[in-house]
């Protein structure tokens, strides 16, 4: 981390601090269906409130399109946060403006106020500077603990950090954001060897920057998911009615030529005539995919092959499922990879699961504790692994260089 963190925050008891969190969580029947992202922010919130800070929390939820939508309100999130903290959490139905400001000023030391969904405001996703300044008016300092939005330059992330700094405040990374950057950075900059990258998902073209980055650093690159179908097509194999990234076929050819034997593709597949939760499946070698087949998962031989590589690894970075893992007939490959990675963790490997579908698959398999780190940000972790700048991090206050002591001291 070359940015300031909570350890650098020169706040005093009673200071109002604006904290950007990522409470973009699934809701069901008016309640939070998965509170993982909320729980991951608790260490930052507890540390700040224990110091007597008064916290104003900002978050988005869903994609309401820049206008209020009742189904995207943060009210259910506030209720769950209060349950997890074991104390009352206040709520402002306004995100900015007189009511939100009055609510912030009324906070007692150690209290928390959550403002309404930032994406109810049209200027949020445009990184509107006036909106960023309005967010900054809610507090004296800014803490960004929303890694899941760090790859976006929005008013409540990058814009708010710059506005707070321009007004004389500090903009620092929270404990969650710091942890994300440190784990991903260590995996890329100084990985234990062998370093194995596992990539799944749909499109080769969507992950080209990540693939190229991994080819430059990893000892092995294991490819699964629908992405593997595109490589099959590049090899001249039948892919039936499977999802193929047609624009990525030529790209796949070039990547295989560059990677040589460092890239490993599935040798067999689970196929069906249709992809569904009650599909009838069969397992075939990759040369045996029929014209009417749809590939939904990697097969048992591929799971063993991938598992052997993961068992020997000292660093594992995984981004993307091995198949349509939300449906039980096609979940076996993803679960097998998760178990192999967890076994590697137990043997001392550094294992990191990217956010989004990878994190969801790890949680569904009950293996979250089997990884060294499970990221909270799918798009952000993908951008980081691709070597792209993260605007939400770039805008934070720079870390101060430690002065060198004169020789002899």
Active site residues: 37, 203, 356, 379
**List of residues 6+ apart from 29 with CB closer than 8 A:** none
Q: How far apart are CA 303 and CA 365, in angstroms?
A: 16
Other Cβ atoms within 10 Å of 404 Cβ, number: 7
Q: How far apart are the first and last CA of the chain?
A: 27
Q: What are phi and psi of 173, to 5 degrees?
A: -85, 135
- CA quadruple 114, 116, 121, 125: dihedral positive or negative? positive
Residues 25 and 35: beta-carbon distance below 8 Å: yes
- How would you list the strands of the sheet with 350-353, edge to edge? 263-264, 220-223, 195-199, 315-319, 350-353, 373-374
Q: How far apart are CA 324 and CA 101, in angstroms?
A: 46
- Largest Cα separation within the chain, whole Å, is 76
| CA distance to 14, 211, 232, 385, per residue, from 377 (Å) | 31, 18, 29, 12
Q: How far apart are CA 83 and CA 306, in angstroms?
A: 41
- Got the DSSP string for 379-391? HHHHHHHTT---H
């Amino acid at each position: 981390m070359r940015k300031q963190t909570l350890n650098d925050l020169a706040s005093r008891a009673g200071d109002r601090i604006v904290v950007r969190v990522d409470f973009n969580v699934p809701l069901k029947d008016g309640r939070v269906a998965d509170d993982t992202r909320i729980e991951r922010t608790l260490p930052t919130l507890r540390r700040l409130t224990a110091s007597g800070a008064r916290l104003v929390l900002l978050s988005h939820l869903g994609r309401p399109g820049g206008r209020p939508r009742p189904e995207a309100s943060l009210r259910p999130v506030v209720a769950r946060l209060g349950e997890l903290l074991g104390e009352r959490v206040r709520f402002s139905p306004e995100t900015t403006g007189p009511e939100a400001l009055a609510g912030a000023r009324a906070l007692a030391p150690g209290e928390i106020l959550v403002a309404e969904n930032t994406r109810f405001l049209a200027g949020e996703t445009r990184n509107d500077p006036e909106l960023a300044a309005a967010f900054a008016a809610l507090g004296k300092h800014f803490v960004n603990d929303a890694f899941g939005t760090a790859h976006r330059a929005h008013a409540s992330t990058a814009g708010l950090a710059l506005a707070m700094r321009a007004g004389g405040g500090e903009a620092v990374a929270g404990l969650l954001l710091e942890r994300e950057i440190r784990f991903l950075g260590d995996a890329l900059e100084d990985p234990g060897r062998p370093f194995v990258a596992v990539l799944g998902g749909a499109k080769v073209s969507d992950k080209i920057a990540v693939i190229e980055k991994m080819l430059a650093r990893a000892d092995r690159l294991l490819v699964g998911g629908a992405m593997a179908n595109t490589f099959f097509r590049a090899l001249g194999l039948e892919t039936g009615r499977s999802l193929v990234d047609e624009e990525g076929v030529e790209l796949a050819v070039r990547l295989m030529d560059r990677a040589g034997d460092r890239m490993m593709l599935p040798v067999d597949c689970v196929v069906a005539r249709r992809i569904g939760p009650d599909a009838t499946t069969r397992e075939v070698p990759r040369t045996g995919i029929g014209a009417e087949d749809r590939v939904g998962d990697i097969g048992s031989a591929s799971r063993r092959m991938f598992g052997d590589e993961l068992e020997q690894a000292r660093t594992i970075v995984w981004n993307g499922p091995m198949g349509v893992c939300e449906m039980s007939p096609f979940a076996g490959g993803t679960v097998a990879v998760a178990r192999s990675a967890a076994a590697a963790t137990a043997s001392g490997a550094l294992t990191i699961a990217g956010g989004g579908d990878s994190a969801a698959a790890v949680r569904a398999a009950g293996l979250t504790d089997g990884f060294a780190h499970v990221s909270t940000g799918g798009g952000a972790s993908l951008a980081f692994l691709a070597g792209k700048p993260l605007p939400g991090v770039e805008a934070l206050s720079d870390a101060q260089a430690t002065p060198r002591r004169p020789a002899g001291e």
